[in-house]
């Protein structure tokens, strides 16, 4: 029943339904689901008032912003708040199947290969003025197939390729966890594994990203769901698992993408066109 739980990067629990559940276990409000719901609602609204950026993560299920959360926060009070200064939009990109070929687990540097137009696409992201951010699930770490060192080496290699091609990746995030496979500390119900939006929310906090002006591009359903949960718009690409999902499992799309593109470059061109800035990509 803990529907909502949110952990800080250092592992501390920020919020969950636990206080209300505790009350229910004591029999204080047994059989009264409405009272429990009201209690949970009050707890969550109070948390959102204290941490307005939290609403970004919640808003997909929580359409109405609780009263009192629009006020500007005092300067220097805690982490960055959603507001005027969190103004840079990002284009979040999945790694395997979107920037790189989908080959199953990338358990060796040699298995990471760029898709043909990815460098041009990332240069386009740079030219449009979006932060270029990679967000990738790497549960192979939890499963014991490879180490975080390998993930970092793959990302160093990827950064190198992008920079050699005249582009820039502003940040790369990965989730090494799995809820049921492997051993601690990687075996955990984390907040970063897509379809959860933890990597995007963390990026927003660390790079002052306005998620509502951002996009997520990916080939998998979890990419679309993570992007939507973070409050970003989403584009589905047909590389990787994308074409098979579109053709064989259309009923699984619980999040409808704003667009379906043949590949990452086509997705970036769509985004540019949406903003009326297609010309900015010429010669990228």
Catalytic residues: 94, 96
Piece of 97-105, 147-155, 185-193, 232-240 that binds Zn ion (CB under 5 A) = 185-193
How far apart CA 119 and CA 268 sit, in angstroms, is 12
By CB under 5 A, is residue 190 in contact with Zn ion?
Answer: yes
Q: Give CA separation, 108 vs 27, 146, 177, 187, in Å.
A: 54, 8, 19, 22
Q: Which is nearer to Zn ion, 122 or 190 (CB)?
A: 190
How far apart CA 78 and CA 204 sit, in angstroms, is 15
- Nearest distance from residue 136's CB to Zn ion, in Å? 11
By CB under 5 A, is residue 36 in contact with Zn ion?
Answer: no
Residues forming beta bridges with residue 217, ordered by sequence position: 93, 235
Hunting for tokens 């064989």 — which residue is that?
248
Q: Which is nearer to Zn ion, 126 or 139 (CB)?
A: 139
- Nearest distance from residue 264's CB to Zn ion, in Å? 24
Q: Which is nearer to Zn ion, 66 or 176 (CB)?
A: 176
How far apart CA 255 and CA 15 sit, in angstroms, is 25
By CB under 5 A, is residue 234 in contact with Zn ion?
Answer: no
Q: Which is nearer to Zn ion, 24 or 134 (CB)?
A: 134
Q: Of residues 20, 128, 171, 192, which one binds Zn ion by CB under 5 A? A: 192
Does residue 132 have a cis peptide bond before it, meaning omega lies within 30 degrees of 0? no
- 46 C-beta neighbours (distance < 10 Å), count: 13
Q: Which is nearer to Zn ion, 161 or 174 (CB)?
A: 174
Of residues 140, 143, 225, 208, the one with CA closest to residue 174: 140
Of residues 249, 272, 276, 274, the one with CA closest to residue 124: 272
Piece of 45-53, 95-103, 159-167, 186-194 that binds Zn ion (CB under 5 A) = 186-194
By CB under 5 A, is residue 24 in contact with Zn ion?
Answer: no
- Nearest distance from residue 10's CB to Zn ion, in Å? 14
Show the binding pattern over residues 154-183: x = contacts Zn ion (CB under 5 A), - = does not. ---------------------x-x------
Contact criterion met (CB below 8 Å) for 131 and 110: no
Count of residues touching Zn ion (by CB under 5 A): 5
User: H or E element: which one contains 171?
Assistant: strand 171-175
Q: Of residues 95, 193, 233, 236, which one binds Zn ion by CB under 5 A? A: 193
Q: Which is nearer to Zn ion, 99 or 141 (CB)?
A: 141
Piece of 25-33, 189-197, 212-220, 236-244 that binds Zn ion (CB under 5 A) = 189-197
Contact criterion met (CB below 8 Å) for 148 and 176: yes
Binding residues for Zn ion, per CB under 5 A? 175, 177, 190, 192-193
């Amino acid at each position: 029943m803990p529907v909502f739980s949110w952990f800080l990067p250092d592992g501390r629990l920020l919020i969950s339904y636990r206080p209300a559940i505790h009350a229910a276990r004591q029999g204080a409000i047994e059989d009264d689901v409405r009272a429990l719901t009201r209690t949970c609602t009050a707890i969550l609204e109070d948390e959102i008032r204290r941490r307005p950026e939290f609403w970004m993560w919640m808003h997909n299920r929580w359409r109405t912003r609780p009263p009192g959360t629009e006020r500007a926060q005092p300067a220097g009070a805690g982490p960055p708040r959603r507001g005027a200064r969190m103004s840079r939009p990002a284009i979040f990109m999945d790694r395997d199947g979107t920037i790189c070929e989908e080959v199953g687990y990338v358990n060796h540097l040699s298995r990471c290969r760029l898709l043909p137009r990815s460098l041009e696409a990332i240069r386009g992201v740079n030219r449009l003025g979006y932060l270029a951010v990679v967000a990738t699930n790497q549960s192979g770490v939890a499963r014991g197939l490879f180490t975080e060192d390998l993930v970092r080496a793959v990302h160093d290699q990827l950064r190198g390729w992008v920079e050699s091609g005249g582009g820039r990746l502003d940040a790369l995030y990965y989730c090494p966890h799995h809820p049921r496979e492997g051993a601690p500390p990687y075996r955990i119900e984390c907040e970063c594994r897509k379809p959860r939006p933890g990597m995007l929310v963390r990026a927003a906090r660390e790079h002052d990203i306005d998620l509502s002006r951002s996009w997520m591009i990916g080939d998998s359903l979890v990419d679309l769901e993570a992007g939507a949960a973070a409050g970003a718009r989403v584009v589905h690409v047909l590389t990787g698992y994308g074409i098979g999902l579109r053709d064989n499992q259309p009923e699984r799309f619980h999040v409808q993408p704003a667009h379906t593109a043949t590949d990452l470059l086509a997705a970036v061109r769509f985004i540019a066109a949406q903003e009326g800035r297609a010309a900015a990509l010429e010669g990228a």
